[in-house]
Structure 1
Amino acid sequence: MTQNQALLAATVAAVRRAGARMMTRYSTESRPPALPELLAQLQANDAAVVDTLHPALAEALPSAQWLNDEHGSGPLATGEWWLVDPVGGNVNAVHGMPDWNIGVSLVRDGRPVLSVVHFPVLDEMFTATEGGGAFLNGVRLSVSAKTSLDGALAGTGQAQPGHHPDLARRTGAAFTAMTNSALHVRISVPVTQQLAQVAAGRLDLHWQFDNVRSHTAGVLLVQEAGGVVTDLEGKPWDLAGESYLAAAPGVHAAALEVLTA
């Protein structure tokens, strides 16, 4: 087993343990009565996952720094970083919905080199390594082969609460434009789930006007599954960028045109 394979295996094992711990907290009957209770559950879920992941990943790669600021953005210092979104779609989990995940990526000098995204309720484990492909439960992934937006499933989402009204208006305008071009457009969280679906070919494109670092795990999945990820000027995706479009190659150019019209 190579060093990269061993590191991926250790990361998968840690994420799976964190998922199992979250499943002991998760209930389809969960209904927080008000915002204070909701926030307390969000924080407790994140803490449970971090308590499981942090020591395991620190042991797997002691040289890497740690960051679990799921809404953080901007550049990182050089070196290796574990970027962790403890419970992507946590707001779904605390309301008893099944669409949430645990996401981990390893970034080296600003470049994602390893990604693990686990959906415990569905028992789906997405993995990717730089140059090594993307996989779902060990089966290699490939993005959609569609070449026209008229048959495309598209998506976007709210990366974090408290958006500026201008960003909300921009998102709404883009939704309208894409709805007039694609077969179907969804707005949902978690964002990383949509990126994983693009990698699996279940969704054809995903765009985001708010590029937070925790999306990096999903970006690498799409790239390694053969997708195209750029900013909205068509330039290669960058960790510190402000927006991105992740799409199957056959619809990327058309989607970019819609989003920048």
Structure 2
Amino acid sequence: MSATLRNADVTAPDAASDADLLARTESAVREAGAALRERFGEVVRYRTREELMSALAVNDDTALAILRPRLTALRPTAGWVEDELDGGALPAGEWWVVDPAEGNVNHLHALPEWAVTATLVRDNQPVLTVVHLPLTGETYTARTGAGTHLDGRPVRVSPTADLGLGIVATSQARPDEDERVVRRIGSSITAMLLDALVVRTAVPATLHLANVAAGRIDAFWQFAGARADLLPGALLVSEAGGRISDAEGRPWTPQSESFLAAAPGIHAEAVATLSR
């Protein structure tokens, strides 16, 4: 895919509050999720990379046909990130970072781990996000300064204070990852297998991060990654009381080469394990 951005006008938020904007974003995301749920069930077979990409695009287009006009109407001057696999900093102003089918390959394989996400980024800071899991009906929302909610009730990260008692998770950022990154992923999994109680490895990243925010698992890390992978979960976890950094404990930005989200009680231990 090519990484294309539509320029955003740099404007102040309009009279609609972010709370109202979050509610309207949730409505749009739920509608897109319902459309993808109607397409879910049978395993989609493909024999070539071209057939795979075509099947993925059908799901993306189904959700985007709902999301793009609805979200554009909410913030007409906001930019739109065209490629959910793109990374790095955005230009100034407001941008919609959307993954219309997060975990799309799982959807094609009739696996339940997929979602629809939409995040509004303002001057490179996520200010609100919605992550909806159509098969379970769960919806995670977060807004800067207002906490993280699961189906309307507040959630917090886990109180775990011992990595040896923790469930941790990781994910690959994309297919055809650079060999250096793949080897780093492998060595980090080995390190965590030695130090943590349980290590989970699966895509997509956003669902692991939602589980960190809800206190269901204790930490998530990833090397490389796209904005659409990490920005929603970064806001969910931070607003739920978690720590966000890179794998070496430094402040995380979309330009960082690694990402760590953890309950505060095990963040330092996780950094030590990943830095070995």
Alpha-carbon distance in structure 2 between the residues aligned to 1:130 and 1:177:
34
Please name the residue that 1:151 is paired with.
Answer: 165
The aligned length equals 260
RMSD, aligned α-carbons = 1.3
Contact 1:229–1:245 (Cα < 8 Å) also in 2: yes
Q: Identify unmatched segments of 5+ residues in structure 1.
A: none
Shift of 1:62: 1.1
Matches within 5 A, 1:19-38: 19-27=33-41, 29-35=42-48, 36-38=50-52
1:206 to 220, 228, 232: 220
Given the alignment of the two structures, is residue 182 of structure 1 paired with residue 204 of structure 2, yes or no?
A: no
Please name the residue that 2:232 is paired with.
Answer: 217
2:142 to 116, 125, 128: 128
1:239 to 249, 254, 257: 254
1:165 to 179, 182, 200: 179
Which amino acid in the other structure matches residue 244 of structure 1? F
Shift of 1:210: 1.0
Alpha-carbon distance in structure 2 between the residues aligned to 1:208 and 1:68:
23
Contact 2:174–2:225 (Cα < 8 Å) also in 1: no
Contact 1:70–1:85 (Cα < 8 Å) also in 2: yes
Shift of 1:250: 0.3
Alpha-carbon distance in structure 2 between the residues aligned to 1:152 and 1:112:
28
% of aligned pairs identical?
45
Shift of 1:2: 6.5
Which amino acid in the other structure matches residue 104 of structure 2? N
Alpha-carbon distance in structure 2 between the residues aligned to 1:108 and 1:172:
34
Shift of 1:103: 1.0
Query: Mean Cα displacement is larger for which, 245-254 or 58-67?
Result: 58-67
2:57 to 43, 51, 55: 43
Given the alignment of the two structures, is residue 16 of structure 1 paired with residue 49 of structure 2, yes or no?
A: no
Matches within 5 A, 1:50-61: 50-61=64-75
Contact 2:145–2:239 (Cα < 8 Å) also in 1: yes
Contact 1:111–1:239 (Cα < 8 Å) also in 2: no
Contact 2:248–2:274 (Cα < 8 Å) also in 1: no
2:195 partner SS: coil
Alpha-carbon distance in structure 2 between the residues aligned to 1:4 and 1:15:
16
Q: Identify unmatched segments of 5+ residues in structure 2.
A: 1-14
Which amino acid in the other structure matches residue 260 of structure 1? S
Shift of 1:25: 1.1
Alpha-carbon distance in structure 2 between the residues aligned to 1:236 and 1:180:
26
Shift of 1:5: 1.4
Alpha-carbon distance in structure 2 between the residues aligned to 1:177 and 1:196:
23
Alpha-carbon distance in structure 2 between the residues aligned to 1:237 and 1:163:
21
Matches within 5 A, 1:75-90: 75-90=89-104
Which amino acid in the other structure matches residue 94 of structure 2? E
Alpha-carbon distance in structure 1 between the residues aligned to 2:31 and 2:44:
25
Dislocated runs of 4+, deviation >4 Å: none
Contact 2:172–2:223 (Cα < 8 Å) also in 1: no
Alpha-carbon distance in structure 2 between the residues aligned to 1:86 and 1:205:
25
Please name the residue that 1:91 is paired with.
Answer: 105
TM-score by length of 1: 0.97
Given the alignment of the two structures, is residue 256 of structure 1 paired with residue 271 of structure 2, yes or no?
A: yes
Alpha-carbon distance in structure 2 between the residues aligned to 1:188 and 1:84:
20
Which amino acid in the other structure matches residue 107 of structure 2? A
1:71-128 deviation line (CA, Å, top 9, x unaligned): 1111110000000111111000001111100111111001110010000001000000
